[in-house]
Amino acid sequence: MALDAHPTRFRVAICGGGISGLCLAVALSKFADIDVQVYEAAQRFKEIGAGVMIWSRTWRILELMGLADDFSKIAHAPPDGSPGVGFDYRKSDQPEEGYRFHLVEFPYGCIRFHRAQFLDAFVNHLPEGIAHFGRRLLSYTSHEDGQSIEMTFADGSLEYCDVLIGCDGIKSMVRKQMLERKDADGLPGLRRFVEPVWSGITAYRGLISSSAFSKDSNGHLHSATQRPMMYCGHSKHVVAYSIAQGDLVNVITFHTELEKERSPFKGEWVTQCSCKELLDCYDKWEPEVVDLLQNIENPTKWALHYIDPLPFYVDGCVALVGDAAHGMLPHQGAGAGQAIEDAFLLAQVLGYEGVTKESLPEALRAYESVRLPIANEVLRGSRDSGMMYEFNSEFGQDFEQLGPAIQKQWDWIWESSPEEDVQKAIDRLADGARSPLL
Ligand SMILES: Cc1cc2nc3c(=O)[nH]c(=O)nc-3n(C[C@H](O)[C@H](O)[C@H](O)COP(=O)(O)OP(=O)(O)OC[C@H]3O[C@@H](n4cnc5c(N)ncnc54)[C@H](O)[C@@H]3O)c2cc1C
């Protein structure tokens, strides 16, 4: 070790280099005395060609991480805090022109990105030499002395760390092992949380070049090029919004078969499908929707899964973050945002000066105590929102009640700030300690 180098407080291994793993690695890299390594199963960091939206609290975190300028450049428009449309909700499942039944607006509105650009913005801030590709974690063993964790990879290699963070997505290997161990240790019933639940929802996704839309006879461009649209109908809905500085329109359509929820799903979760299959699904919807869907050239078809809310995210020196902890339905555009909230808060807690190798379990529990109730609530709320958009909630098509109920689903955005959440976690660690963020 060079004389001026910081002694290492502890070693963090991050399993998975998606949005949660990369955000955590970038946030932790601010602490010079924490060793961080990222182990990614794939040969490179990659995201699918589609959109991702975030809300004001996630934007606040990007500001706190010093990343706002970079993300501003790739947002649909630079976020400035002025009121913006969250979603424009329309009744659309009839051949005649539909109508707006609710408009959600709040500061920043919905901030939209191309996923590949979003991931790259984190990759660009990753310190050199900490990412390891082609390293699929198979298992981990916590050593009896509690001093280190041994990780075994599919290529036969072994690595060691003091704290292991599972950022390995909805099919998480880390979650599987954590739950199986706890179950074997006398907490029965946990194995039911291992496998993701099939939601009964088929989603179709595609991108459209904005130039594909021409103005209508009134001189208006397609609504989806102007603001985030939510076209609603019975057991189906369609989401469309512009990304990539307005060059592209991202479309996701949903078809829910509630009777299939929790039944076994066989086959690949993501497949190619024909344009006809997609169009047939929304046959007899309003012209604005049909016009949108006709422009999708290569749709993909997704079987959407979620995990049941976990009773814990942490075991000893191992923790779950992002979809590994709370893989959710996308009806609040919140999975990536919740992953970033986990990653940011966990990094502040681990980086807190009082945390040592010995107090790592306590630090992880402080993370869990703040993040688990919030993220699990968003997970539950995401499913409920989908029921509302598809007229399957208690409000049916009573739009006077449905509109405000949908609006209320977004309350979690304002219930606390990311800084306050970090402070709560730090409070748990040390009475009266101030978070460096406040
Ligand atoms: C249709 C749809 C639309 C969505 N839209 C939005 C949206 O608009 N806004 C939003 O906030 N969220 C949205 N989400 C959710 C969001 O995409 C996810 O919550 C987010 O990508 C999760 O990131 P993650 O890093 O936790 O997991 P992942 O992105 O799944 O990353 C996991 C990584 O771990 C790696 N890995 C897996 N297993 C191993 C292993 N054993 N060893 C090593 N590496 C491993 C994988 O290769 C991958 O790189 C949407 C989801 C869907 C399905």
Q: Residues near 400 by Cβ (< 8 Å), separated by ≥ 6?
A: none
User: Does residue 86 have its Cβ closer than 6 Å to ligand 1?
Assistant: no
What per-residue confidence (pLDDT) applies to 143? 82
- The answer to whether 12 and 25 are in contact (CB under 8 A) is no
What per-residue confidence (pLDDT) applies to 189? 86
Nearest ligand 1 atom to the CA of 42 is: 47
Neighbours of 69 (CB within 10 A): 10
What per-residue confidence (pLDDT) applies to 436? 64
Q: How far apart are CA 225 and CA 133, in angstroms?
A: 37
User: Does residue 169 have its Cβ closer than 6 Å to ligand 1?
Assistant: yes
User: Does residue 323 have its Cβ closer than 6 Å to ligand 1?
Assistant: yes
For the chain, domains (ranges, CATH) are 10-83+111-195+308-429 (3.50.50.60), 99-106+197-306 (3.30.9.30)
Q: If you measure from the C-alpha of residue 270 to the centroid of ligand 1, how many angstroms do you get, rounded to a whole number?
A: 13
CA distances (Å), origin 389, targets 2, 85, 144, 251, 369: 59, 17, 50, 16, 31
Q: Which residue from 15, 23, 47, 52 has its CB within 8 A of the most atoms of ligand 1, so it is best to mutate?
A: 52
Q: How far apart are CA 116 and CA 48, in angstroms?
A: 7
Q: For residue 152, give the 3-state DSSP assignment.
A: strand
Mean pLDDT to the nearest integer, 433-437? 61
Q: If you measure from the C-alpha of residue 115 to the centroid of ligand 1, how many angstroms do you get, rounded to a whole number?
A: 11
Nearest CA to ligand 1 atom 6: 333
Q: Which residue from 40, 44, 413 has its CB within 8 A of the most atoms of ligand 1, so it is best to mutate?
A: 40
Strand order in the sheet with 318-320: 131-132, 34-39, 10-15, 163-166, 318-320, 314-315
pLDDT-derived band at 2 (thresholds 50, 70, 90) equals very low
What per-residue confidence (pLDDT) applies to 433? 57
What per-residue confidence (pLDDT) applies to 1? 44
- Lowest mean per-residue pLDDT among 5-9, 23-27, 180-184, 192-196: 5-9
Q: Which residues of 318-346 are buried (b: 16+ CB within 10 A; e: fewer)?
A: bbbbbbbbbbbbbbbbbbbbbbbbbbbbb
Q: For residue 305, give the 3-state DSSP assignment.
A: strand
Mean pLDDT to the nearest integer, 9-13? 97
Nearest CA to ligand 1 atom 35: 16
Nearest ligand 1 atom to the CA of 205 is: 1
- The answer to whether 92 and 98 are in contact (CB under 8 A) is yes
Q: Is the pLDDT of residue 245 over 50?
A: yes
User: Does residue 59 have its Cβ closer than 6 Å to ligand 1?
Assistant: no
Q: If you measure from the C-alpha of residue 48 to the centroid of ligand 1, how many angstroms do you get, rounded to a whole number?
A: 10
Helical H runs in 65-150?
Answer: 68-74, 115-123
- The answer to whether 413 and 404 are in contact (CB under 8 A) is no
Q: If you measure from the C-alpha of residue 7 to the centroid of ligand 1, how many angstroms do you get, rounded to a whole number?
A: 33
Torsion of CA 118, 39, 335, 328, to 10 degrees: 150
pLDDT digits over 406-426, tens only? Answer: 999 999 999 999 999 999 999
What per-residue confidence (pLDDT) applies to 49? 76
Nearest CA to ligand 1 atom 1: 330
- Helices and strands in the chain, H and E counts: 12, 19
Q: Residues near 133 by Cβ (< 8 Å), separated by ≥ 6?
A: 40, 42, 43, 44
Q: Residues near 50 by Cβ (< 8 Å), separated by ≥ 6?
A: 114, 115, 205, 207, 250, 252
Main-chain phi, psi angles of 401, to 5 degrees? -90, -35
